Structure 1
Amino acid sequence: MHQRKDVFVIGHKNPDTDSICSAIAYAGLKNKIAEGNYIPKRAGEINNETKYVLDFFGVESPEFINHVGTQVKDVSIKPTPSISKEISLKNAWIKMRDLQEATMPVVKEDGKLEGIISVKDIATANMDIYETRILALSKTKYSNILDTIDGTMVVGNPEEVVPLEGKILIGAANPDLLENYVEKGDILITGNRFESQLCAIEMNAGCIVVCMGAPVAKTIQKLAKENNCAIISTPHDTYMTARLISQSTPLGYFMRKENLLTFSTEDFISDIRGAMAKIRHRDFPVLDREGNYIGMLSRRSLLEMDNKKIIMVDHNEKTQAVDGIEEAEILEIIDHHRLGTLETTMPVYFRNQPVGCTATIVYHMYRENGVEVDKQTAGLLCSAILSDTLMFRSPTCTPVDQKAAEELAKIAEIDIQDHAEKMFRAGSSLSDKTPEEIFYQDFKKFSANGVNFGVGQISSLDQGELDALRPKIAEYMATADRNDTDMLFFLLTNIIHESSALVFYGENAKELVEAAFGQEAAEDYIQLPGVVSRKKQFVPRILSAVQQ
């Protein structure tokens, strides 16, 4: 059974009620009529009006997402098993060969990464070991030696570590010569030579390895115990034993543990591609948010990666979209605004209608697909229409919007007038917000003829509140970081009087406003009777003035 692919349904940055409610409702529709797992998301903080609507209908706010670029967690992560730093080089090689892994992680019992080992590291270790004290230096346990040379412990404890001063010797010389080069703690590889074994014990050797499975005399065993000398028996000959014994070194001695290149599940592929290209590993360890190892990311995974799948609602301009939209796969766009600056790599389902609200389009899509609109969804869609059309007062409002809102109000069992007033009052409650929060509450960017400008808007039923807010907004705009915008505009809209005070800032902003509306402006604001819609009454005039 295939796992259902996640598809995020997202409105614009600084979302309004339509953007949030349409995303929730459209995700709900898609989950009923299409394959996949459709999840509503938001690209910014919800405003007071939207919060009131969600609370009123008992709906949770969509989860915030600030970037839709492909992350490590969106890519196929190989569940490569980990190994312990205690195992021998030989066992590590066998495991890597059997699993056909070129790189493996070395992980502690608590799940934290300690290092990585590659086939190249093991090959280098086998080719470059000229250090006869390697078993002592790497603190090798006798159990590792037993495992590597298929040995049996005749005398001693397998869990003890090879003596610190010991080197590896082959007892080929006669006992007279052996006396001169066997030292305390040494490991002597020998055959069935009583005199050599006795000499090693007398010279305080740490361990005697007896080859070819030769029996060890009781006298030697007794003397070895008394002198704390281990004895191991192996079926291999001297040559094979000498070749294998250095492979009993613990993996931890050769693993790479400094400057490891690891990635988090939250890392963006666009950020890590360069780092992966610089280091010629095939696989890189991936850690979760707590720093625990979860798998390996291979170069091949990047060739087969699956970008995040997105449906855009209530916008179609890149400047208004969530960050990383250029890396995502856009499947659909459902909108009621002018066509903007977005390009897609593949054909998409694009539905754009000249109505006052995206929620109107979503409602029609429920009906077209024969899907019943439940009470909760009807409440969200109706609220979105009332918000976007300023309760049918906006020039963007069409008879289609009004009819949809009235039908939805019946399903949701709400009184339009009463619900809209409470919603607007909640939305225009600005006492707990800073000028910056109010400014960006409903803010969009536009561009024409190389001129970039941003337009914010707040609607209220209370003219006194709007009058008090105007100088604060003007002051904020004069000190705000304009980023890449040449001019800033802010509409303070009175829903009851159906008019707006426009505050502006930026070089040539005053001249542009006067040209667009054909009336004289004060130093930083102008009163615009009858103007309530940013989309239909304000932005087109500004764009026209810019082009002229």
Structure 2
Amino acid sequence: MDKQVYVIGHKNPDTDSICSAIAYANLKNQISDKCYEAKRAGQVNNETKYVLEKFEVETPELIDDVGTQIRDVAIKKIDGIESGISLKKAWNMMKDTSNSTLPVTSDGKLEGIISVNDIATANMDIYETGILALSKTPYRNILDTLEGTMVVGDEEGYVEDGKILIGAANPDLMENYIEKNDILITGNRFESHLCAIEMNAGCIVVCMGAPVSKTIKKLAMQNNCRIISTPYETYVAARLINQSTPIRYFMRKENIVTFEEDDYISDMKETVTKIRYRDFPVLDTNGNYCGMLSRRSLINMNRKKIILVDHNEKSQAVDGIEEAEIMEIIDHHRIGNLETLAPVYFRNQPLGCTATIIYQMYLELGVELDKKIAGLLCSAILSDTLMFRSPTCTDLDKAAAEKLAQIAEVNIEEHAEKMFRAGSSLQDKSTEEIFYQDYKKFASNGIKFGAGQITSMDGEELAALKPKILPFMENACKSSSADMLFFMLTDVIHESTELLFVGEDARNIVERAFGVKPEESSIVMKNIVSRKKQVIPQLINAMQG
């Protein structure tokens, strides 16, 4: 995890966002020992799909939230224990492993948990002399806890009935309180042994390793009375025997707080704060136990490491970005409002496309561009600059695209036309998909607004889209937190844009921004094709005026 870095563009990614992420991850992998992986923060549009398919590059995996998850935290790989083991054995395992909580599992599934507190409670609060029978304690547990040997009887089986007694009285008195199936703890007392057998005791525990006479052994065998020999003296044996109780009797089985590997830390913090457990079981997506999460491990979380390309504003970034560790930012937009935990490498140049910056970095670092990467970068530049028609396009963008086209062995005009036609094909898309396929959020002077754009080489297609988009925008504005929404219908061939707008005061903002009084909910603007350079700055100036 420490060496994994995600390279990711903005939400509703365009061709530049996707292609720049792929190209930059490829560059970093060639100059670093870390693992860089391109990701995407939204669905890929038709134009980008065409580009990826043409150059036979896989679509980056979607990641919709980069918040810290439990899988990013050091999960303790504590093996699950069986519910039948004794309290003493569980306690020894805790001491040996320095774990205060152990998971109890069966076939990989969590059955319960046992903690130091549970064992302490068992030792301090047990006054029930029939605890071994109530908990169906295996005789193997008793032998293990008392470090004993079975002198007479079968090691298998369970304590089904009876209570625990100390054989300290004389036989005449013992006859009055020994009952069938009781367990008698005693020393080397022939009379006590005989009395217990005659009263149908279930087991005699002989302390200090004292010898048992042949007569007692024979009688015990005839009366189905087990005899256990332990090296411990009576007081210690009496204290220890309750610790042979299986942990299933004391473990917590109900209302156990568990988390899944994919759970986000931000979602679980409140729960962890309210419940004062030291450790919490973690399950995988199939519900199988996979480890324990400690409170202390939350202090040393491994935040996801991220490189942002083609954006630097929080509103456009993937969800959970405030919890991630931003390593670098490569962008060509205005400086936004992202904050970082530490200084980062931030490269921002006034160019028409992020891909141009990444192309420069390949040259600066002396890394050779292969045909696929060159094709991706060239496509991104053509897309963002509308094949050099956008006012954001610089001589550097054009020169880079021409050089990359040579490496990729593509004709710029032919490739751009196919790209734009693929991108403007709206036949298989809903109105919502069209509106949000290239949509960005902004804020200025306390006003929240969003702006989408679609470019097409078919003016009739754009004209037919207008009556569908406007009603959708009205409803979207009412149901969202945006104060106003804008949408650009951009005609690449005629280098013009019809700007649609909805929302309170949107008409006045548009009039102030472009000096044109709208007749309805749109205006047509000649020589306007760039959202970044020609539309958003004008709208923000109007909002601040």
How far apart are 1:86 and its partner, in Å?
1.2
Residue 21 of structure 2 corresponds to residue 14 of structure 1? no
Matching residue of 1:309: 305
Distance (Å, rounded) in 1 between the aligned partners of 2:302 and 2:227: 58
Matching residue of 1:91: 89
Question: In terms of mean alpha carbon deviation, does 445-454 or 263-272 score higher?
Answer: 263-272
What TM-score results when the alignment is normalised by the length of structure 2? 0.97
| Alpha-carbon contact 1:103-1:117 (below 8 Å) kept | yes
Matching residue of 2:266: 270
How far apart are 1:467 and its partner, in Å?
1.2
Q: One-letter code of the match for 1:511?
A: N
Where do residues 240-251 of structure 1 align in structure 2 (5 Å cutoff)?
240-251=236-247
Matching residue of 1:298: 294
Equivalent in 291, 314, 321 of residue 318 of structure 1: 314
* C-alpha distance after superposition, 1:58-101 (max 9, x if no partner): 11111111111111111112222332221111111111112122
Matching residue of 1:386: 382
Distance (Å, rounded) in 1 between the aligned partners of 2:117 and 2:510: 69
Equivalent in 109, 114, 135 of residue 112 of structure 1: 109
Residue 181 of structure 2 corresponds to residue 185 of structure 1? yes
Residue 280 of structure 2 corresponds to residue 279 of structure 1? no
How far apart are 1:449 and its partner, in Å?
1.1
Matching residue of 1:535: 532
Distance (Å, rounded) in 2 between the aligned partners of 1:448 and 1:61: 34
Q: One-letter code of the match for 1:496?
A: I
Matching residue of 1:364: 360
Matching residue of 2:392: 396
Equivalent in 218, 222, 225 of residue 222 of structure 1: 218
Residue 423 of structure 2 corresponds to residue 431 of structure 1? no
| Alpha-carbon contact 2:2-2:302 (below 8 Å) kept | no
* C-alpha distance after superposition, 1:191-243 (max 9, x if no partner): 23333223222322211112222333333333333332222122222222111
Q: One-letter code of the match for 1:271?
A: D
Where do residues 507-546 of structure 1 align in structure 2 (5 Å cutoff)?
507-546=504-543
The number of residue pairs the alignment matches comes to 544
Residue 501 of structure 2 corresponds to residue 504 of structure 1? yes
Question: In terms of mean alpha carbon deviation, does 193-202 or 126-135 score higher?
Answer: 193-202
Distance (Å, rounded) in 1 between the aligned partners of 2:468 and 2:113: 58
Distance (Å, rounded) in 2 between the aligned partners of 1:464 and 1:227: 102
| Alpha-carbon contact 1:88-1:144 (below 8 Å) kept | yes
Matching residue of 1:194: 190
Residue 496 of structure 2 corresponds to residue 491 of structure 1? no
Matching residue of 2:121: 124
For residue 366 of structure 2, give the secondary structure of its aligned residue in structure 1: coil
Distance (Å, rounded) in 2 between the aligned partners of 1:473 and 1:157: 82
Distance (Å, rounded) in 1 between the aligned partners of 2:233 and 2:482: 81
- What runs of 5+ residues in structure 1 fail to find an aligned partner? none
How far apart are 1:176 and its partner, in Å?
2.1
Residue 440 of structure 2 corresponds to residue 444 of structure 1? yes
Q: One-letter code of the match for 2:377?
A: L
Distance (Å, rounded) in 2 between the aligned partners of 1:133 and 1:45: 65
For residue 180 of structure 1, give the secondary structure of its aligned residue in structure 2: coil
Q: One-letter code of the match for 1:72?
A: I
Where do residues 134-173 of structure 1 align in structure 2 (5 Å cutoff)?
134-163=131-160, 165-173=161-169
Q: One-letter code of the match for 2:194?
A: L
| Alpha-carbon contact 1:4-1:35 (below 8 Å) kept | no
Matching residue of 1:60: 58
Matching residue of 2:38: 40
Q: One-letter code of the match for 1:521?
A: P
For residue 440 of structure 2, give the secondary structure of its aligned residue in structure 1: strand
For residue 5 of structure 2, give the secondary structure of its aligned residue in structure 1: strand
For residue 107 of structure 1, give the secondary structure of its aligned residue in structure 2: strand
How far apart are 1:253 and its partner, in Å?
1.2
How far apart are 1:4 and its partner, in Å?
5.7
Distance (Å, rounded) in 2 between the aligned partners of 1:355 and 1:50: 20
Distance (Å, rounded) in 2 between the aligned partners of 1:101 and 1:501: 66
Equivalent in 73, 77, 80 of residue 79 of structure 1: 77
- What runs of 5+ residues in structure 2 fail to find an aligned partner? none
How far apart are 1:482 and its partner, in Å?
4.5
Percentage of matched positions with identical amino acids: 69
Question: In terms of mean alpha carbon deviation, does 125-134 or 479-488 score higher?
Answer: 479-488
* C-alpha distance after superposition, 1:417-436 (max 9, x if no partner): 11111111111111111101
| Alpha-carbon contact 1:4-1:37 (below 8 Å) kept | no
Question: In terms of mean alpha carbon deviation, does 195-204 or 116-125 score higher?
Answer: 195-204
How far apart are 1:279 and its partner, in Å?
2.4
How far apart are 1:492 and its partner, in Å?
0.9
For residue 181 of structure 1, give the secondary structure of its aligned residue in structure 2: coil
Question: In terms of mean alpha carbon deviation, does 261-270 or 313-322 score higher?
Answer: 261-270
How far apart are 1:246 and its partner, in Å?
0.8
Question: In terms of mean alpha carbon deviation, does 271-280 or 441-450 score higher?
Answer: 271-280
Distance (Å, rounded) in 1 between the aligned partners of 2:336 and 2:191: 93
For residue 459 of structure 1, give the secondary structure of its aligned residue in structure 2: strand
Distance (Å, rounded) in 1 between the aligned partners of 2:519 and 2:452: 19
Question: In terms of mean alpha carbon deviation, does 499-508 or 478-487 score higher?
Answer: 478-487
Distance (Å, rounded) in 1 between the aligned partners of 2:211 and 2:322: 74
Equivalent in 46, 50, 57 of residue 48 of structure 2: 50
Equivalent in 369, 373, 376 of residue 369 of structure 2: 373
Matching residue of 1:29: 27
* C-alpha distance after superposition, 1:330-374 (max 9, x if no partner): 111111111112222211111111111000000000000000011
| Alpha-carbon contact 1:424-1:459 (below 8 Å) kept | yes
Q: One-letter code of the match for 1:42?
A: R
For residue 513 of structure 2, give the secondary structure of its aligned residue in structure 1: helix
What TM-score results when the alignment is normalised by the length of structure 1? 0.96
Matching residue of 1:463: 459
Q: One-letter code of the match for 1:492?
A: L
Distance (Å, rounded) in 2 between the aligned partners of 1:202 and 1:418: 105
Distance (Å, rounded) in 1 between the aligned partners of 2:185 and 2:342: 69
Distance (Å, rounded) in 1 between the aligned partners of 2:518 and 2:38: 42
How far apart are 1:43 and its partner, in Å?
0.7
Question: In terms of mean alpha carbon deviation, does 321-330 or 510-519 score higher?
Answer: 510-519
Equivalent in 397, 400, 407 of residue 403 of structure 2: 407
Distance (Å, rounded) in 1 between the aligned partners of 2:339 and 2:367: 31
Distance (Å, rounded) in 2 between the aligned partners of 1:419 and 1:290: 46
Q: One-letter code of the match for 2:48?
A: T
How far apart are 1:268 and its partner, in Å?
1.5
Distance (Å, rounded) in 2 between the aligned partners of 1:145 and 1:71: 43
